[in-house]
Structure 1
């Protein structure tokens, strides 16, 4: 049995703190050893909850430390490129929360750097945190769609709702880049092909959104094989965290994420909690708790095995490229073609969309 993987967490907001707890309490063959955040008081407070964990205000100090074997990045997307590149330079496996970076160009730089690092260190080092691939319902849905029993997949319909956003700084563009990006990866995961075009529609916004914010949004993806994906993202729904997906194939359909059979409606109960006759999850940590646990455990196991599992740097780049096109469509209202480089022009191993076997809010 190999020693426990010594993991450092960068970013100690809601997601980073959740990952720290997961690594410290629920992940086999892993040990939380360090946390980093520019808010040193918050980092120190988190570290104090766990024996032997040290803290720093400098992410690069954690990444380059000889006491850290691997890194979880739960920091804001605008610092991901620098931090992922630092992990690659140090030869350290990294689980990077979405988005990989803020735009296509920087994500492509990460892809190229990771391919060079793969040749140097003999294994892929980047896994991107699209945890829905590890969710049992999504994994089952993909298995049904790929076993051939329903024929070719024709349509996907995605719903992604948050009760609210943490502050007025969560603008329309962030709904595309930080929330819709999950649906981008879901579409690629379930169809097994790239998104080639996107159109973002702007319905009349809810009165509860910040001034100038377009919420909800409806996005339409066109897949490489001609399939269509419709997506509703509504980050101020007030009710709770609702994520569901319906796949329509030639000989049937499959729905996941619905808490009951038949028709149902959501509303605010007398307690102020979202309800449908049961309860609506409060946030992404509750809805995808199992998916996060499976994701992090699979990552730790893959590091021990010297293999890779889950979404790759290419998957992160492809999702960011769609989001970049989506932000252009948000501004114009027009259908925008997704600009992806030809993977055959990149050095290193052949690019494949990897599938899982079974503080950035909202998610």
Structure 2
């Protein structure tokens, strides 16, 4: 069944709301499907050229991950495929490179790329976002080898290729990879004014207290609705350090207060999270005071980063914002954070409210 047929079937069943922007991408996905279902042209002397890939980009919440999964479903087991979130894939690559170097090989990238090519004709990477210089320096040579081995790339991203690793250190060294993406893939924008995920949140509560069975169930229901059970742990690379996010899917992140504020994270880490996540769920926010003063300071920094980036915040806390931090050093300064927490509960809060088509 074609991708378009699967899409229409889901629409008839009420499993998705038809979207003209999504529908406009279906011919490109079906072109990819048709090409991959053809047997590769083999030669005794060289690997077959890969099928031209697809780079699908657009704002978060537009359904890119869903469309990728529809394309993979339409091909079934006929096309050997490796599907991973981009950050998880790069973690695996970094670990595989370390193992390869231990063998004394002169070029660790070659065996790593060949290991991927041995099992996958299609590499499907969700949410490509390059923020770390180590990843940026690897990607060009890695994919040059993968394409030479006949591997096709299907990827989604919130950015067009030219905006990858934007303002990154030594970005000039990354530009050849961008040129390779544009040479090897059709670049297709999913242009839709509708953030389907944001629509699910309209009018719904965004701040739950106290932290009890009812609030945990409400948070779990929102998360299931936003992610469809497809979230996975991910890692943000910030100046060469790893910031672990326990659950992430299509711009939605979820973590506990202690994941984000119980560890020695700083402004750069929170800015990276605010850039990566359109929606953030924070569980188990405790009362704040002198006994957890350092955690409270980090929480203030985190909320400032989320507020400035207009991230939609869903939270479960021990008390309402104006009662979270009521005494001790820092309680007076926390008044601004409490005010921001209350403002962020508004139904129209979030980046969508700033978009030209949001009115």
TM-score w.r.t. structure 1 length?
0.26
Higher alpha-carbon Rg: 2
The structure richer in helix per residue is 2
Higher relative contact order (CA 8 A, sep 6+): 1
